Amino acid sequence: MSQITLRGLEPKIEREIRRIAKNTGKSLNRVVLEMINKSAEPVKTTPADSLRNLAGGWTEKEASEFNEAIKICEQIDEAMWK
pLDDT digits (tens, 9 = 90+) for 7-54: 999 999 999 999 999 999 999 999 999 999 988 878 788 887 777 777
Q: Which of 18-22, 45-49, 68-72, 74-78 has the lowest mean pLDDT?
A: 45-49
Rounded CA separation 39/46 (Å): 19
The 3-state DSSP class for residue 81 equals: helix
Give the pTM.
0.49
